[in-house]
Amino acid sequence: DKATINNTKITSLELMEHAATLCFEWLHSRLQGQNIKIHVFCGIGNNGGDGLVIARHLFQHGYNVNCYVVNFSDKRSPEFLTNYNRLKEIAEWPKIINDEGDFPEVDFEDIVIDAIFGIGLNRKPSGFTKKLIQYINNTKVFTLAIDFPSGMFGDKSVTDKSSVLRAGHTLTFQTPKLAFLLPENNEFLNTWEVLDIGLDTNFIESLLPTTHYITKNDVIPMYQSRNKWSHKGMFGHSLIIGGSFGKIGAVTLATKAALKIGSGLVSAYLPKCGYQILQISVPEAMVEVDSEKLLTYYNFKTKPTVIGIGPGMGTTDKTAVGFEAFLKENKTQLVIDADALNLLSKNESLLQYLPNKSVLTPHPKELQRLLGVWKNDYEKLEKAISFSTKYNVILVIKGAHTTVIDEQQLYINSTGNPALATGGSGDVLTGIITGLIAQGYQPLHAAIFGVYLHGKTADLALQKTSYETFTATTILDYLAEAILDLFHQEEIADSEA
Ligand SMILES: NC(=O)C1=CN([C@@H]2O[C@H](COP(=O)(O)OP(=O)(O)OC[C@H]3O[C@@H](n4cnc5c(N)ncnc54)[C@H](O)[C@@H]3O)[C@@H](O)[C@H]2O)[C@@H](O)CC1
Ligand SMILES: [K+]
């Protein structure tokens, strides 16, 4: 905020007025003047200042407002004080909450605006402030949190979960906060959105050089278009290695995905028992086979551009021995998933044989086998960064906000939803990333772009189908729409959208 204030003529007070007015407008456009009781709880810093501005606008628009100052300290910020006076000039004085006896009655049908703590929180809430947060949580009332749910930290883990307000919706300023994207904070946030308050974004980027929130605008420049002289030889050859008796579906899905994303040629290498299944379900693919029911020899003749390995391949001793020999020989770029990751976790000495910038796509359990246990999500990210740096590989940590890690750089995905929580969706992702690398996408871009598109299919599908009926195959059905959507311009949204 200080950078914006120094670099432009806008004062800190004006910035607060602007930010908080956007919050008011958000609420006003939804309530349309309804006579619902609104409780605005303000701290004594600038988050509280936001609350006072919101309360003033609500009063001026005739809402049924109760404004409170949570008096946990007498170190009021100057912007808080100015807005405190402005509010007094137009309305009744905010009520001061000094202890539990001052807590107001809050009903389930009311609305609470939480402007107690924002990004300035530097220790966990205690005393009557903590009790107030618990009191609000217990009412189960709808809460609109300003910038942060009070009690949640911007840069470290919550240690006392009972001291955090559980927000119904959070309006945060300027950038999505890393803390919002970590699974451990899931229970404090329901939905959230970013309000653009015109802060100096260069400054924010230089504050967080390593964290990128990936949206459509970030992936459009990665897209590689084709021209009329293009031929299939220009789009590489993907080889998918995987499968075992009973798990031929995994390798089939990955093979289909590599084709569907545009790999010029696709081959699969799998146990003999899967030969007909694959040839029939994916006629476009070429197939080579290993022993009857398991991968054992890894003696394929295909000379691929990139190999995606792991889906459904199992971790039996024979498969493990062959995998080790394969890795020691292999010089081809790799995408490694599922059981291939589990085999790596069992024998870490193999990690040294991975080609530079191999892409590893673990789900949380597989990641834990690779990295060991972590105390919290911040430590998980630190461990993942060290792992990526040490072995010079790209990690794709799958989850609600899949995170691609390339050494110090974090790319957090914005697309996707629980429809993707279905068997086989990981196999499809492996195929997509493999197929992108085949076409000449550098591994990092293939990982970021692939994860984005994979998630986008589920977002688009939900406009027509349900979470339940979405399967791994549905991802492939919507891949075309996900790509076309890149070039679809959103209608100009108003400031409240
Ligand atoms: N001009 C600006 O600076 C703007 C600031 N904005 C708001 O300002 C907020 C940040 O304001 P502040 O930096 O004043 O901080 P907060 O209002 O988040 O916190 C208030 C103060 O409480 C104290 N404190 C921290 N943890 C405590 C605890 N556990 N118990 C008791 N006291 C504690 C701190 O000293 C802090 O200064 C943002 O989150 C945002 O809501 C927005 O209005 C946008 C413009
Ligand atoms: K807040």
Which residue reads 């402007």 in tokens? 115
What tokens does 108 get? 């389930």
Residue with tokens 């309000």: 195
Residues in the chain: 497
Report whether residue 153 contacts ligand 1, using a CB cutoff of 6 Å. no
Tell me what pLDDT residue 227 has: 86
pLDDT in tens, 385-420: 999 999 999 999 999 999 999 999 999 999 999 999
Q: CA-to-CA distance for 51 and 16, rounded, in angstroms? A: 10
The ranges of the chain with pLDDT < 50 are 202-208, 494-497
- Residue 116 C-alpha to ligand 2 middle, in angstroms? 5
pLDDT one-digit tens code per residue, 441-450: 999 999 999 9
Which of 14, 47, 173 for a ligand 1 pocket mutation test, highest count of atoms within 8 Å of Cβ?
Answer: 47
Q: Which residues pair with 308 in a beta bridge?
A: 240, 335
pLDDT at 8: 61
Residue nearest to atom 33 of ligand 1 (CA): 121
> In angstroms, what is the span from residue 325 Cα to ligand 1's centroid?
57
477-483 contacts at long range (C-beta below 8 A, 24 or more positions apart):
479/257, 479/260, 479/261, 479/432, 479/453, 481/457, 482/453, 482/454, 482/456, 482/457, 483/223, 483/453
Interatomic CA distance for residues 478 and 474, integer angstroms:
6
Angle at 434 between CA 428 and CA 436, to 5 degrees: 105
Q: Is 77 in the pocket of ligand 1 (CB under 6 A)?
A: yes
pTM attached to this predicted model: 0.89
Q: Are 202 and 6 in contact (CB under 8 A)?
A: no
What does the alpha-carbon distance between residue 117 and residue 41 come to, in Å, rounded to a whole number?
Answer: 10
Answer yes or no: is the C-beta of 45 below 6 A from any ligand 1 atom: yes
Our mutation pick for probing the ligand 1 site, out of 117, 124, 165, 203, counting the most ligand atoms within 8 A of Cβ, is 117
Query: What residues contact 241, with CB distance under 8 A and at least 6 apart?
Result: 251, 268, 269, 270, 295, 298, 300, 307, 308, 309, 310, 313
* Cα angle value 305/393/402 (rounded, 5°): 100
pLDDT at 139: 96
The closest ligand to the CA of 23 turns out to be: 1
- Measured CA distances, 450 to 249, 260, 312, 437, 454 (Å): 20, 12, 20, 10, 6
Taking CA atoms, 2 is separated from 7, 10, 128, 154, in Å, by 8, 10, 31, 17
Q: What is the CA radius of gyration of the chain?
A: 26
Q: How far is the CA of 139 from the centre of ligand 1 (A)?
A: 25
Calpha distance 410→367 (Å, rounded): 16
Q: Determine how many CB atoms are found less than 10 A away from the CB of residue 379.
A: 13
Which residues have C-beta within 8 Å of that of residue 283, sequence separation ≥ 6? none
Which ligand lies nearest the alpha carbon of 115? 2
What does the pLDDT look like over 72-107, one tens digit per residue?
999 999 999 999 999 999 877 899 999 999 999 999
